[in-house]
Amino acid sequence: MLIENGCLTQVENADIRNGVFVVPDGIREIYDWAFRKCPSPRKIIFSAGASYFGGFDWPFAHCHELEYFEVEEGNQEFSAEDGVLFDRSKSSLFCCPAKKSGGSYRIPDGVMDIDNCAFQGCLGLTEIIIPSTVTFIGDWAFDGCFGLKVLCLPQQIRTKSLGDFIFRGCVSLAEMTVPNGVELIGWGAFQGCASLKYISFPGTVRWIREDAFRGCDSLSGILFRGPPQQWEKITIEEGNEALTAAQKVYPKGTL
């Protein structure tokens, strides 16, 4: 493996033994695409002395066969539960392995942050349940979850935005209720969600970024939980023709 000043920049074939890669003591960061030149490990173990790898969005890109994270006892930065990687306090969910099985996954109560790319490419998940404790969901968080049919976003969730490319390529997702309080729908947020037929927006939405609904050719119905005049004030950038063409429905008493 290649290590520069405590940063793991590249993993080699010989570093993966029987499908397992161990992040050694002293590693402070893992660069994006560090696993690009080796077969995907099935398990990644964080040694007791491995520390925070922040600053990069795709440290486990190319780990398409990854099934499990494990953290050695005594590690002060990380923890793992059900094979998913968290910070030690389990307030931040760092990464769900791409080949996690089981269909449905419930994020533990108490998690506040879902990191960038946390569920990217998790092809085996059909349902993800998010607790009301979450206040931040990162960009690309569910990008490429082709099998995802149900995503439970609680209405009391305290996030103000749905990030860039957050649901891009979720081709099985048929409907979505955007939680109350959300003001921004990020760039490419639902791009390529070809099965998306119905979406409900809160009256708090103010801005829908470019290409947020590009490729959502099945979109036919929008419930806007606010008055029609408020919908007309929303900034909708280009590349959202599927959204603007869909039929709008407003709650009774707002017309």
Domain 101-255 indexed as CATH 3.40.605.10: no
Structure tokens, 5:
């000043």
CA 220/CA 196 separation, integer angstroms: 8
pLDDT digits (tens, 9 = 90+) for 23-57: 988 888 888 888 888 888 999 999 998 886 665 57
| Sign of the CA dihedral with 230 first, then 235, 238, and 243 last | negative
Question: Could you give the CA distance from residue 58 to residue 95 in angstroms, rounded to a whole number?
Answer: 10
Kindly state the percentage of the chain with pLDDT values over 70: 96
SS3 247: strand
Residue type, 227: P
Burial of 189 (0-12, 13-18, 19+ CB in 10 A): buried
What does the pLDDT average to over 4-32? 87
Q: Which of 64-68, 157-161, 204-208 has the lowest mean pLDDT?
A: 157-161
Residue extents of the structural domains in the chain: 1-100, 101-255
Single pTM value for the model: 0.90
Query: Residue 128, Cβ neighbours under 10 Å: how many?
Result: 22
> HSE of 201 in the Cβ direction (CA atoms, 13 Å)?
24
